[in-house]
Structure 1
Amino acid sequence: MSSAPAIEFQSLTKEFGTVRAVEELSFQVRPGRVTGLLGRNGAGKTTSLRVLLGLARPTSGSATVFGHRYQDLPRAAHRIGVSMDGLGWTPGATGRRELRIWASTLGLPTSRVDQVLERVGLTDSADRRVKGYSTGMRQRLALATALLADPELLVLDEPANGLDPDGIRWLRTTLRSLAEEGRTVLLSSHLLAEVEQTVDDVVVLERTLRYAGPLSELIPRQNDRLEDRFFDLVGAGTVGKEQSHA
């Protein structure tokens, strides 16, 4: 496995008018590991991922995958699997039909659809319309879509949202197995207790970088908790305060 970073942010700043959503963000994601991008709502997590994936332009600095901007990376859609709100579903499609559309777009055999449906536990629901799926089922379908091309890297925006306890446990096991296969996973989340049981490395973001490194160094003692260290780094929030540009 290459020692070069799978993902690298270098002094990334993103502004929306007069609002600075992300400021001077620099960190690396090491290959073959699960990295959690953590922050409260409005901390800049989704904005950072959108810049990484070429969906937004940085105001300054850069974000690269495998040493390239996403839009300059050969076969990017095959090497990187993405799950992110806003990518949307085909109106009226079943889960199986949705995956077949994506498979056709990527030039993949339809047999790959059945493989990923089984991996995410949606085989029995594959012929139901997506509009009738629960939030948790849609999360599973989104992960199936991300896995279609057998990617080296997965970028997942809040993949545990809407999952029940069984689903969260399943997601944790699935992400760990993907890393054991040599894949790299970058996931954003605000579910600190779950992330603590899932990731190898942690990036804490509060518009600017507050920490980037191994989870074991952030919480080195057995009784340490990620939640406590997180609030040590970002400070106490204001109850009821909502922010934009997550």
Structure 2
Amino acid sequence: MSDTAAVSVRGLTKRFGEVTAVEDVTFEVRPGRIVGLLGRNGAGKTTSLRMLLGLSRPSSGTATVFGRPYADLPDAARRVGVSMDGIAPMPGTSGRRDLRIWARMLGLPATRVDEVLDKVGLTGSADRKIKGYSTGMRQRHALAVALLADPELLVLDEPANGLDPDGIRWLRTFLRSLADEGRTILLSSHLLSEVEQTVDDVVILQRTLRYSGPISELVPGSGTSLEERFFELVGTEAERHVDA
């Protein structure tokens, strides 16, 4: 496994007019790790991911994938699998048809569609229209799209949203199996108790970086939880209003 960081963020800042959404954020994602990008709604998680993937231009700083900006990364669409808002299925398609369209765009054989449908547990629903899918099924379908090219890195924005308890448990086991195969996973989430059972490392944002490192160092043992440490680092909602 390469020692080069799968993701490297240095001094990343994004301003929208007079509003600073992300300020001077620096962290790395090491190969073969599951990394949770944590923060409240509006903390800068999705904005950071969009800058990483070249969907938004930083005001300052850099974000690279395998040592290069995403736009300059050879074969980026195959090496990086993405699931986030803005990557929507083709209107009116079934799950299988949508995946076949993506596979054709990526130059992949049609057999790969059946493989990822089986991986995410959607084989029995593959020929249903996506518009009739539950939220959880849509999340599984989005994960199937991200996995099509068998990528080295997965970037997942809130992948557990809409999943029921069985689905969340399945996702946790599934992501660990992917990491055990050598893949790297960067996922954003606000489900702290679930993240605590899933990730190797955490990056906590509240516009600025509050922590980056192994979860074992942030939550070293029994008697404390990720939720407790999270609020120690970012403050409670009441404290935010007092500071404002």
TM norm structure 2? 0.97
**In structure 2, what is the equivalent of residue 46 of structure 1?**
46
1:144 aligns with 2:150: no
**In structure 1, what is the equivalent of residue 165 of structure 2?**
165
Shift of 1:238: 4.4
1:59-112: per-residue Cα shift (whole Å, max 9, x none)?
000100000000000000000000001111111100000000000000000000
Secondary structure of the residue aligned to 2:237 is coil
Q: CA–CA distance in 2 between the matches of 1:86 and 1:131?
A: 16
**In structure 2, what is the equivalent of residue 244 of structure 1?**
none
**In structure 1, what is the equivalent of residue 227 of structure 2?**
227
Letter matched to residue 207 of structure 1? R
Consecutive unaligned residues of structure 2, counting only runs of 5 or more, are none
**In structure 2, what is the equivalent of residue 78 of structure 1?**
78
Letter matched to residue 151 of structure 1? P
Letter matched to residue 183 of structure 1? R
**In structure 2, what is the equivalent of residue 154 of structure 1?**
154
Q: CA–CA distance in 2 between the matches of 1:209 and 1:89?
A: 33
Equivalent positions of 1:1-246 (< 5 A) are 1-238=1-238
1:128-186: per-residue Cα shift (whole Å, max 9, x none)?
00000000000000000000000000000000000000000000001000000000000
Secondary structure of the residue aligned to 2:92 is coil
Across the aligned residues of Structure 1 and Structure 2, the Cα RMSD in angstroms comes to 1.0
Q: CA–CA distance in 2 between the matches of 1:58 and 1:236?
A: 28
Letter matched to residue 86 of structure 2? G
Question: Runs of 4+ in structure 1 displaced over 3 angstroms?
Answer: none
Shift of 1:223: 2.3
Q: CA–CA distance in 2 between the matches of 1:71 and 1:93?
A: 29
Secondary structure of the residue aligned to 1:25 is strand
Give the count of matched residue pairs: 240
Q: CA–CA distance in 1 between the matches of 2:31 and 2:71?
A: 20
Q: CA–CA distance in 1 between the matches of 2:9 and 2:130?
A: 35
Q: CA–CA distance in 2 between the matches of 1:221 and 1:36?
A: 18
Consecutive unaligned residues of structure 1, counting only runs of 5 or more, are 242-246
Letter matched to residue 186 of structure 1? L
Letter matched to residue 52 of structure 2? L
